[in-house]
Structure 1
Amino acid sequence: MLDHNTESGLGARHRLSDHSTSPMTPHTSLHRREFLVGSSLTLAGACLGAAAPETRLRIGFSGLKHGHVYAVMKLAAADPRVTIAAIADDDEQNRKEGERISGIPVKYANYHQMLEAEPLDVVVVAEEYGRRGEAAIAALEAGKHVFSDKPLCTHGEELERIAKVAAAKHLEVHVDFSLRHFWAKGAELLQQGEIGEIVGCSFAGPHSLSYERRPKWYFVPGMHGGIINDLMGHGVDFVQWITRRPYVEVLSGARAKVGFPQQPEFETTGDAMFQLQGGAPIFGHVDYFSPAGHPGGWKCNVVGTKGDAVFGDQGGFTLRPSGAAERHLDAKGLRAESPHPFKDFIALLTEGKAPLRTTAESLHVSQATLLAQAAAESGRSHVPFPALAYPLPAKAG
């Protein structure tokens, strides 16, 4: 069994060097010495014909409350760099599905039991939205890296605690936002200045509610946390990436509980207006009214000083530079080499490979959606972003 209190093996590979940063300075890649230690262990395993079990990351799953988690579980089960060591969930049907996919018994009813009993390196959080923050905090306080389904949490106080503990303990916290991976090739062209400075963006993410298939906890008061915090993170994250600028203010937010008489208190539409550093306005819309039987998906319109661009899950990418011919990439041609945020996360921890999205960015985007949700609920406008203990670097992206 792996000894997490030594400087050899995996413990050295994902712990920061004492000389790398101050306790409150976030890191985005592993120290070179730790990477070399990990590489040596991997090579030794290869020479023996297979990776030695003690060199693998030990992963525990806290909750199986949303279907997104099973995609992560399948990736983990197929990855030779990791071992699914434990799963915790209190729902019988979820436990059966987790056992079927992972091939191991679900021995724990909750993350408290799992963290107390298992020597883990990583905790994947997929509890009900309203319980994710507490699970992530518990994992971090126990010294574990965290990969979370979105949203990471539903309260600003939870996010502040997550950022503080992650920074103090030099731990990674990544959130499963996906558009960077889906639209990467088009984003690269914008980052290279193909349409000049980006001066505005609008995006929309219509979703199908599929009420009959939704988990019942979705509609329990306090468990969902609001439509903006639930859905808007994908678009907020993508815009931050292509502009390389942080958000500095939530200009306004709005939400509505309409068109869904089965659950009249459930939010079905949400809008938010943000401002980036430098002044560019960003508008986002999300809803649960994507029509059944028709293709939906995300769309993003980008305006630059020298052209514009449109991204779409169905339509791909169209670039219109001023004075030059229009260019188009289909949706498949936009994909990043890295297929999923979880694969990025594991590559960072095991190889020191820079991810498409850092911990600081995951926390910043989570803060943006939490502030926008709160603005929509309170009616406040021009809400500034408080400093987090795990801030973005001076030049984001």
Structure 2
Amino acid sequence: MRFAAIGLDHRHIYHMVGGLLEAGATCVGFDPATGDERVLSGFRERFPDLPESTAERLIDDPAIDLIVCAAIPAERATIAIRAMRAGKDVMVDKPGVTDFDQLAAVEQVVAETGRIFSICFSERFTVPATIIAGKLIADGTIGRVVQTLGMGPHRLNRAIRPGWFFDKRNYGGILTDIASHQIDQFLHFTGSHDAQVVASGVGHFGVPDLPGFEDFGEVLLRSDRASGYIRVDWFTADGLPTWGDGRLTILGTEGTIELRKYVDIASRSGTDHVFLVDKAGTRHIDAAGEPLTYFRNLVADIANRSETAMSQRHAFTVCRLALEAQAKAAWLPARSRVT
């Protein structure tokens, strides 16, 4: 499988390209156009042998099967549509889209072309702990899953953020952007095909000179099988040794699973800590060595026209729920919004 990278605006492009290479795919080139020269510099350091080209040449090349894209979020749908109309499958960074018009357009092109539009939800697909959690649930270890509690805190790192990062027209809002990860995990781990946004809210509590930047968000979801609460923010303190203490707690009728994905604060070193409580007791599972599956499954899906990495319905449902949560979000605290 041959692929190319277009849209080097977010550092997630590193693991998107790296994951495909590890899965046996061949990267035949990348477009160096970027809104953040630091991302481009980091890409060249990690992949020094990849040739540079232009988006037009890469999209028009009939020998390329897949386009991977981590462009400015609001630009991803346009690039994906161009690529799919040129006969290519697409993997984009989250969020796949930033408004309802983009979602409708992507859905239409997928229906017309039969191409794959996959979203790399890195907080599930590049985290071995989530693979272990899925296996425990499938084995019935915690019984029926009835609720998820997903937290996605991030460090702002303002000094290294490009200007587009703080403009909602570019990122779509904190729920459209970050919370798409937790919505993906809610649907996946509860086995839900759809859900209702019961309530949502966003707010700005941080740096005073960016009053319109959403740095906090929350969502309450409910499906016909389970409920879920999501909290996302940009308040990770500098003292944490990683970019955010991402957590997921999965409540079952016979036990619970907690994932400390990136750090176990003041305790065990490393990442991918799984804590299990069931009828047999409590235990810690080191999941760091568990093989990832998304990238090799996507490579197989492209060859076989299958949906083992992620169903197309799931990708679109996550997008729609994130947009709905963003659209109905109350401004927190309850006061006149500053824009």
TM bucket normalised to smaller: 0.7 to 0.9
Q: Is residue 260 of structure 2 the alignment partner of residue 303 of structure 1?
A: no
Contact kept in structure 2, 1:84 and 1:102, CA below 8 Å: no
Residue equivalent to 2:53: 107
Contact kept in structure 2, 1:98 and 1:106, CA below 8 Å: no
Q: Deviations over 1:184-233 (max 9, x none)?
A: 11221122222222222211111101001112211235112111111112
Q: What TM-score does the superposition give when structure 1 sets the normalisation length?
A: 0.72
Q: Is residue 273 of structure 2 the alignment partner of residue 327 of structure 1?
A: no
Change (3 A) 1:61 1:299: same
Q: How far is the alpha carbon of 1:351 from its aligned partner?
A: 6.2
Q: State the secondary structure of the residue aligned to 1:222.
A: helix
Distance 2:113 2:190 in 1: 30
Contact kept in structure 2, 1:59 and 1:86, CA below 8 Å: no
Q: State the secondary structure of the residue aligned to 1:320.
A: strand
Contact kept in structure 1, 2:131 and 2:292, CA below 8 Å: no
Q: State the secondary structure of the residue aligned to 2:196.
A: strand
Amino acid at match of 1:246: H
Query: How big is the alpha-carbon RMSD for the aligned residues of Structure 1 and Structure 2?
Result: 2.7
Contact kept in structure 2, 1:74 and 1:102, CA below 8 Å: no
Q: State the secondary structure of the residue aligned to 2:281.
A: coil
Q: Is residue 247 of structure 2 the alignment partner of residue 247 of structure 1?
A: no
Question: Matches of residues 229-240 of structure 1 in structure 2 within 5 Å?
Answer: 229-240=176-187
Q: Deviations over 1:345-368 (max 9, x none)?
A: 223224678634333322222222
Q: Deviations over 1:239-268 (max 9, x none)?
A: 222221123211111000111224221110
Q: How far is the alpha carbon of 1:87 from its aligned partner?
A: 1.9
Higher strand share: 2
Amino acid at match of 1:147: M
Distance 2:321 2:89 in 1: 22
Q: Is residue 264 of structure 2 the alignment partner of residue 282 of structure 1?
A: no
Amino acid at match of 2:298: F
Q: Is residue 55 of structure 2 the alignment partner of residue 120 of structure 1?
A: no
Distance 2:292 2:43 in 1: 25
Contact kept in structure 2, 1:124 and 1:148, CA below 8 Å: yes
Q: State the secondary structure of the residue aligned to 1:63.
A: strand
Q: Deviations over 1:20-79 (max 9, x none)?
A: xxxxxxxxxxxxxxxxxxxxxxxxxxxxxxxxxxxxx33232210011112323445566
Which runs of 5 or more residues in structure 2 are unaligned? 265-272, 333-339
Contact kept in structure 1, 2:217 and 2:231, CA below 8 Å: yes
Q: State the secondary structure of the residue aligned to 2:165.
A: helix
Distance 2:156 2:328 in 1: 24
Question: Matches of residues 1-397 of structure 1 in structure 2 within 5 Å?
Answer: 57-76=1-20, 80-87=24-31, 89-90=33-34, 93=37, 98-100=43-45, 101=47, 103-108=49-54, 111-112=55-56, 114-116=58-60, 120-178=64-122, 179-180=124-125, 181-182=127-128, 183-278=130-225, 280-295=226-241, 296-313=244-261, 314-315=263-264, 316-321=273-278, 323-332=279-288, 335=290, 337-338=291-292, 341-350=294-303, 355-376=308-329
Contact kept in structure 2, 1:81 and 1:350, CA below 8 Å: no
Q: State the secondary structure of the residue aligned to 2:4.
A: strand
What's the % identity of the aligned pairs? 25
Q: Deviations over 1:305-331 (max 9, x none)?
A: 22222222134222222x432233124
Distance 1:285 1:107 in 2: 40
Larger Rg: 1
Change (3 A) 1:173 1:102: farther
Change (3 A) 1:88 1:271: same
